[in-house]
Structure 1
Amino acid sequence: MKRREAREKAVQTLFQMDNSEMTLEEAITYIMDGPIDPFYESLVKGTIENRDEVDKVLIGKLENWSLDRLPKIERTVLRIAVYELLFQEEVPHRVILNEAIELCKHFGDEKSGRFVNGVLSKFAEEK
């Protein structure tokens, strides 16, 4: 599985968990057929396991928004991207930002991509 597909599946899995009472294992099984890709698994489990820290950092980047007010798809994509920015140091930040924008375009709309770009660009400004 390519990393783009792994990210798409991770968004679907985490979005499913955000909208239901599914456990992590149930959500993974619901989305994935066959063997579990290691990168996909690291995104999903890492985002869940580090959610408090990810949310804390994410809240610090949101201006005039609360995490609860964000549309669910943008919140899900942002959580994955922030997890990658904080914990997946082998992936260049520019790649993470571009992938997050593309995920929003795929699952949301052009406005979603611009919003996510605005939030995540604050990470680039810090570097």
Structure 2
Amino acid sequence: MKRRTAREKALQALFQIDVSQTEPESAIEHVLEEEAGDDYLSKLVFGVIEHKTEIDNLISENLEKWSLDRLATVDRNLLRIAVFELKFIQQEVPENVVLDEAIEIAKIYGDDQSSKFVNGVLSKIKQSLNN
């Protein structure tokens, strides 16, 4: 599975978990739709869940005039995936690739403003992590 596809499937799984409190294994199985499992997909989903408090705090610190719970579910979970990649597995994926992928996925799954919003928040987070 390509990493883009793994990110999209991770977004779908985390969306399910966020909205309906689905178990992570069930959510992953559901989004795979009979396809073989993928290590990167699992790493993203379980990594976000494991580090959710730290990830959410980092996102919250970089939101202006917004709170995490007011964000669209797609945007919130896309930010979580990207922050997990930036903070916890940065040696595997270049920062600019993480940002570009998140922006492109936001264009597909988010609303008209999602890609700009995701870009702005992730740019601030990237800067804060590099300081």
* Shorter-chain TM band: over 0.9
Q: Report deviation, 1:29.
A: 1.3
For structure 1, list consecutive stretches of 5 or more residues without a partner in the other structure: none
Structure 2: stretches of 5+ with no match in the other structure: none
Distance 2:35 2:107 in 1: 27
Give the drift of 1:16.
Answer: 0.9
TM superposition shift of 1:124: 3.5
Q: Which residue of 1 aligns with 2:98?
A: 96
Aligned to 1:106: 108
The C-alpha deviation readout for 1:57-107, integer Å capped at 9, x for no partner, is 111111111000001110010011011111112211100000110111010
Q: Secondary structure at the match of 2:113?
A: helix
The TM-score with structure 2 as length reference comes to: 0.92
Q: Which runs of 4+ in 1 moved over 4 A?
A: none
Paired residue for 2:84?
Answer: 83
TM-score (norm 1): 0.95
The root-mean-square deviation of aligned C-alpha atoms, in Å, is 1.1
Alignment: residue pair count:
127
| CA distance in 1 between partners of 2:54 and 2:35 (Å) | 31
Amino acid in structure 2 at the alignment position of 1:12: Q
SS at 1:64 equivalent? coil
CA-CA distance at 1:123 after TM superposition: 2.9
Percentage of identical aligned residues: 50
